[in-house]
Amino acid sequence: MTPYLTVDEVAELARCEHKAVRRAVRQGALRAFQPAKRLLIREDDARAWIESRPVAGTPPRNPPLPSPRPGSTAPRRAGSVAALREIERKAVGA
């Protein structure tokens, strides 16, 4: 049998505010019982709620740009040395 936790204990377990736990109960994302004036949540349900939204891998900060066409003189990445040299060449030639 799984023990029952209070809202504050679930919040401590999830390392969040008690308001987030109460919101999850209100929205139906977390099952709770109220035999008296206090909400009780099964520990298994609390852990399932915590683990219900895993964070997906974050995208790289600077995703690589597509490779230039063969024979193209365009720089491979924005902000690269080649791009700076191209800007300098255009500025001097102007």
Q: Mean pLDDT by 10-residue block, N- to C-terminus, for the chain (94 residues)?
A: 93 96 96 94 96 76 65 60 81 74
Give the model's pLDDT for residue 53.
82
Residues forming a β-bridge with 4: 42
What pLDDT score does 81 carry?
79
Contacts of 31 (CB under 8 A, 6+ apart): 25, 41, 42, 45
| SS3 call for 5 | strand
